[in-house]
């Protein structure tokens, strides 16, 4: 059987599907199936082989290998086809690779608004974000928020429906009024609620409510990179992560005191949101420059096979004086291929 797949495809080429993208790390190669949201791992020797198979027929590659290597080559081809990662073709020129490019019509794609004690000008913030065509907003509260308090925030803006999604992350209240929160979700179809410090992890998908046991007290708990934080992006997000910073690109944030930042956890701010228009901040190269710090430029990360699906973090890095330093709260070592058990290992990185 091992020779069968080679013999029947001797004059063909093997190609990974264009949306199945190999990423070479220090210890192994990851193949990211962006269409199905799945990851596969192979030895690094297969990375170069995958590239050669676009130029050489199966027979030509087999002729280059020793007899002892042919069974392993056959097994590799069988695993790739069984995993629906690629196929055999007669002319690879008919299947050009996908352009490794990314762009968006939105000047800002994501916004974070942190709240605790200060009352932000939500009407003004929503209006500015709408003008920037921002589709996604996350509101993170470090305190309980009653249904009445949420309604006061959301009803402040009469064009709220122009946002695609508004996620509100808030503390699970001692007196949980499920009907009250369901009414919020009924009135605002673009809103979802995530309650932390809950008794257990669960999700009510139909009502767009989820509950997690983790507790958050501030944005200082941001930047966690572990197995749970690894996203399985679609093709567009994968290309964005490859060409730009996977955390900060096209993002703007308002911290709990009202200061405008790339991320609420970062030290540098660009003024108070009550006085400085968000659009003006986007003209500052110091702000937008962080958008283009790619994982291929970051120390250690550039050798990691997970680098294009990693959330990254520029707020907490191992060397605070070096913006290209590895994320401080990352628990993966690409040189050993091992995840280290840390205090953050079982936390979901929603902050």
Pair 295, 196 in one domain: no
Are the CB atoms for 32 and 21 separated by under 8 Å? yes
- Single out the residue in 187, 215, 243 at which a domain terminates: 215
Pair 291, 308 in one domain: yes
Tens of pLDDT, residue by residue over 103-113, are 999 999 999 99
Using a 10 angstrom Cβ sphere, with 0-12 exposed, 13-18 middle and 19 or more buried, the burial of residue 102 is middle
Pair 237, 339 in one domain: yes
First to last CA, the chain: 50
Whether 251 has a pLDDT exceeding 60, the answer reads yes
Domain-embedded: residue 86: yes
Cα 289 to Cα 58, 112, 239, 244, 343, distances in angstroms: 45, 19, 18, 10, 32
Pair 211, 226 in one domain: no
Sheet holding 251-254, edge to edge: 202-204, 209-211, 191-196, 165-171, 136-141, 110-115, 251-254, 260-261
Whether 350 has a pLDDT exceeding 50, the answer reads no
What is the rounded average pLDDT of the residues 38-63? 94
Tens of pLDDT, residue by residue over 269-302, are 999 999 999 999 999 999 999 999 999 999 999 9
Q: What is the mean pLDDT of the chain?
A: 93
Tens of pLDDT, residue by residue over 319-341, are 999 999 999 999 999 999 999 86
Band the pLDDT of 3: cuts 50, 70, 90: low
Number of domains in the chain: 3
Pair 10, 66 in one domain: yes
Q: What is the dihedral of CA 243, 248, 249, 251, to 10 degrees?
A: 170
Q: Residue ranges of the alpha helices (H) in 224-296?
A: 235-243, 278-281, 285-288
User: What confidence score (pLDDT) does residue 346 get?
Assistant: 46
Pair 158, 12 in one domain: no
Whether 314 has a pLDDT exceeding 70, the answer reads yes
Pair 111, 253 in one domain: yes
Pair 239, 311 in one domain: yes
The percent of residues in the chain predicted with pLDDT above 70, rounded, is 95
Pair 207, 226 in one domain: no
Pair 226, 327 in one domain: yes
Tens of pLDDT, residue by residue over 197-226, are 998 888 877 679 999 999 988 999 889 999
Whether 349 has a pLDDT exceeding 90, the answer reads no
User: What confidence score (pLDDT) does residue 343 get?
Assistant: 46
- Look up the domain containing 151 and give its range: 143-215
Band the pLDDT of 155: cuts 50, 70, 90: very high
The percent of residues in the chain predicted with pLDDT above 90, rounded, is 85
Q: Is the dihedral of CA 238, 244, 246, 248 positive or negative?
A: negative
User: What confidence score (pLDDT) does residue 233 get?
Assistant: 85
Residue 350: CB atoms within 10 Å: 19
Structural Rg of the chain based on CA atoms: 24
Pair 124, 238 in one domain: yes
Q: ∠ at Cα 51 (100, 25), nearest 5°?
A: 75
User: What confidence score (pLDDT) does residue 342 get?
Assistant: 58
């Amino acid at each position: 059987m091992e020779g069968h797949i080679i013999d029947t495809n001797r004059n063909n080429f093997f190609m990974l599907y264009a949306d199945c993208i190999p990423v070479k790390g220090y210890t192994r190669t990851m193949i990211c199936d962006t269409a199905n949201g799945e990851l596969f791992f192979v030895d690094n020797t297969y990375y170069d082989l995958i590239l050669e198979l676009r130029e050489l027929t199966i027979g030509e590659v087999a002729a280059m290998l020793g007899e002892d290597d042919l069974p392993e080559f056959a097994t590799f081809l069988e695993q790739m086809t069984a995993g629906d990662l690629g196929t055999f073709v007669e002319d690879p020129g008919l299947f050009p690779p996908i352009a490794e490019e990314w762009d968006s019509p939105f000047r800002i794609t994501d916004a974070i608004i942190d709240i605790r004690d200060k009352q932000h000008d939500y009407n003004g913030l929503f209006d500015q974000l709408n003008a920037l065509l921002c589709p996604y907003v996350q509101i993170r509260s470090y305190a309980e928020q009653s249904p009445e308090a949420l309604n006061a925030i959301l009803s402040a803006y009469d064009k709220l429906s122009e946002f695609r999604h508004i996620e509100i992350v808030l503390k699970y209240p001692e007196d949980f009024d499920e009907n009250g929160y369901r009414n919020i979700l009924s009135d605002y179809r673009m809103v979802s609620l995530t309650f932390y410090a809950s008794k257990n992890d669960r999700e009510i998908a139909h009502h767009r409510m989820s509950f997690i046991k983790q507790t958050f007290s501030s944005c200082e708990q941001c930047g966690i990179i572990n197995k749970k934080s690894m996203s399985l992006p679609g093709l567009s997000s994968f290309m964005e992560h490859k060409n730009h910073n996977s955390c900060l690109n096209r993002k703007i944030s308002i911290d709990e005191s009202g200061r405008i930042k790339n991320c609420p956890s970062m030290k540098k701010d660009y003024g108070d949101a009550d006085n400085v228009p968000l659009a003006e901040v986007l003209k500052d190269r110091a702000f937008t420059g962080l958008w283009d710090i790619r994982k291929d430029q970051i120390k250690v990360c550039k050798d990691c096979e997970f680098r294009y699906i990693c959330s990254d973090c520029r707020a907490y890095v191992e060397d605070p004086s070096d913006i290209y330093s590895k994320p401080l709260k990352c628990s993966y070592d690409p040189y050993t291929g091992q995840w280290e058990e840390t205090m953050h290992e079982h936390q979901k990185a929603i902050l």
